[in-house]
Amino acid sequence: MGRRNKPAYDDDFSHVSNVVKYLLFFFNFIFWVVSVVMMSIGVYARMEKHAEAAMSYLSVDPAILVLIVGVLMFFIAFCGCVGSLRENICLLQTFSICLSIIFLLQLATGILGFIFSDKARTKVTEMIDKAVIHYRDDLDLQNLIDFGQKEFGCCGAVSFKDWTLNMYFNCTPENPSMERCSVPFSCCLLSKDEAVINRKCGQGMQELDYLKAGDFIHTNGCIDKLVNWIHSNLFLLGGVVLGLAIPQLVGIFLSEMLVKQIKEQIEQQRYHFRHS
């Protein structure tokens, strides 16, 4: 009689690779620490801000957004850490599925943003206009706008005239504000040699035409500046996107490899149990 062919794993137990196991654990532990830091920042920022001020000018409060991302990262990293240490298939598959969904959502967002770039531009313009309206209502928002206008060398969403949307800078004759027809100091053409910034440098700039105002302030809006910056830094942005995608793909690959090894070990143990 011919000799019975035995499965390859009949002679020797296959083992789960400790390299894959602890590499996946270390990978997730780093993200777990980052998630704890993000949640702490989100909670602290939320406690320091007034909820009504934060929600009045943005669709989502940045503090809440950071907190939500932190909680999501904490859950996913927890599944990866515990799943790898305990060799738990359920947790590992949950980790892999969550990472896959996030990766696909990021990919879909990028594609839709490219296809509907005009609508995205309109939405960003609306957000900047809302921020301009509430410029004096929230100190964090004010600092953010000033930083953006100084860094990009811009003023307003489309042009410096957008600052008439703000009740303090409004250029109508009925406006009693001392800042009537002005723009924030961050719109001004500031010299790096100036030891003290003249915060009144934008006084009455909205009453001037573009050419005359251009001698004192940035007249172009931040939308065009932002679009130009994106076009000039496509390789940098591509590197950032790739840098975010690679860890996700590595995590998915390691978790699927570990799940496969665990399943093979379970099948081998069942085979030996049936034939012992």
Within-domain flag for 37: yes
- 100/143 same-domain check: no
Strand partners, 220: 159
Q: Is residue 63 scored above 80 in pLDDT?
A: no
**Assigned domain for 2 exists:** no
* Structural domain contains residue 7: no
Contact 261, 196 (CB under 8 A): no
Query: Is residue 222 domain-shared with residue 260, that is, in the same domain?
Result: no
Give a yes or no: residue 127 inside a domain.
Answer: yes
Same domain (yes/no): 107, 131:
no
Q: What is the per-residue pLDDT across 136-145, written as a single tens digit (0 to 9) for each?
A: 887 878 888 9
DSSP string, 251-268: HHHHHHHHHHHHHHHHHH
Which tokens sit at 153? 């060398």
**How high is the mean pLDDT of the chain?**
83
- Does residue 98 sit in the same domain as residue 162? no
How many other CB atoms sit within 10 Å of the CB of residue 270?
Answer: 10
Domain match, 58 and 20 both: yes
More confident residue, 124 or 50: 124
Instruction: Name the percent of the chain in helix, strand, coil, to the closest 5.
Output: 70, 0, 30
Tokens of residue 80, six digits: 């990866």
Whichever domain contains 126, its CATH number is 1.10.1450.10
- Are 129 and 215 contained in the same domain? yes
- Of 53, 52, 46, 45, the residue nearest 142 (C-alpha): 53
pLDDT tens for 106-123 read 888 878 877 777 787 888
Q: Give the pLDDT confidence score for residue 256 in this predicted structure.
A: 92
Residues 85 and 128 in one domain: no
* Whether residues 128 and 226 fall in one domain: yes
Instruction: Name 159's Cβ contacts closer than 8 Å, sequence gap at least 6.
Output: 210, 219, 220, 221
How much is the average pLDDT of 21-35?
Answer: 90
110 and 130 together in one domain: no
> How far is Cα 240 from Cα 266, in angstroms, rounded to an integer?
40
Q: Is the pLDDT of residue 159 over 90?
A: yes
| Burial grade of 124 (CB within 10 A; 0-12, 13-18, 19 or more) | middle
Domain tally, the chain: 2
At 74, the pLDDT band (50, 70, 90 cuts) reads: very high
Percent of the chain residues topping a pLDDT of 70: 87
At 43, the pLDDT band (50, 70, 90 cuts) reads confident
Mean pLDDT of 247-262: 91
Find the distance separating the first CA and the last CA of the chain, reported in whole Å. Answer: 22
Residue 148 in domain? yes
Q: Please write the tens of the pLDDT for every residue from 88-109.
A: 999 999 999 999 999 998 888 8
Q: Are residues 97 and 181 in the same domain?
A: no
pLDDT for the residue numbered 270: 81
pLDDT of residue 8: 45
- In this structure, is residue 210 part of a structural domain? yes
Is the pLDDT at 13 greater than 70? The verdict is no
Task: Tell me what pLDDT residue 273 has.
Answer: 79
Is there a single domain that holds both residue 220 and residue 123?
Answer: yes
85 found inside a domain: yes
One domain, residues 207 and 139: yes
- Domain annotation covers residue 70: yes
pLDDT score of 275: 75
Structural domain for 133, as ranges? 119-230
Burial class (CB in 10 A: 0-12, 13-18, 19+), 115: exposed
pLDDT digits (tens, 9 = 90+) for 202-246: 999 999 988 999 999 999 999 988 888 887 887 887 888 888 888
Give the least confident one: 24-28, 51-55, 133-137, 153-157.
Answer: 51-55
Q: What is the pLDDT of residue 231?
A: 79
